[in-house]
Amino acid sequence: MKVGLLVPLATFREMAEQEALFTAAARIGTEPMLVEGRVHDVVASVADGTLHLLAGGLPETTPLASRIALTRPWGKATIAGEVRHAVWGLRQGENALLLALNQAVSSGGGVAPS
């Protein structure tokens, strides 16, 4: 699963989200391949299906919701200095992947500490 990052790889590796992502991926039988890029390019690549998932501090209230589908919150994260529910973004219409990720974050009450 190709995952576009909204933050630099070094930053993502220090975030609780990395563990949550790898846990959810394992639950659905895949392994994330992390891809860095400019935010605009990463979002466009998720929207067109080149990348499967968008991660790296995406709040559930993101204005990107009009361009991409959002998972259920995987946990809470500090985003722009505030603790918020965090989600992952994926291409609209990827219903099987969305369902699998939502089941992964729902089983056991989520994948990261809240």
DSSP code, position 88:
E
Classify residue 113: in a domain, yes or no. no
Helix (H, G, I), strand (E, B) or coil at 113: coil
Are the C-beta atoms of residues 76 and 20 closer than 8 Å to each other?
Answer: no
Classify residue 111: in a domain, yes or no. no
Average pLDDT of the residues of the chain: 90
Report pTM.
0.88
> What CATH code is carried by the domain that includes residue 10?
3.40.190.10
pLDDT of residue 80: 81
- What is the count of structural domains for the chain? 1
In this predicted model, what pLDDT tens digit does every residue of 11-23 receive, in sequence order? 999 988 999 999 9
Tell me the one-letter amino acid at 97.
L
Question: Quick one: 44 exposed, middle or buried, by C-beta within 10 A (0-12, 13-18, 19+)?
Answer: middle
pLDDT of residue 94: 93
Q: Which domain holds residue 100?
A: 2-106
Q: What is the share, in percent, of the chain residues with pLDDT greater than 70?
A: 94
Are the C-beta atoms of residues 46 and 90 closer than 8 Å to each other?
Answer: yes
Classify residue 38: in a domain, yes or no. yes
Nearest 5°: the CA angle 42, 46, 49 is: 135
Classify residue 52: in a domain, yes or no. yes
Distances (CA, A) of 13 to 9, 16, 18, 66, 73: 6, 8, 6, 28, 19
In this predicted model, what pLDDT tens digit does every residue of 48-76 receive, in sequence order? 999 999 999 999 999 999 999 999 999 88
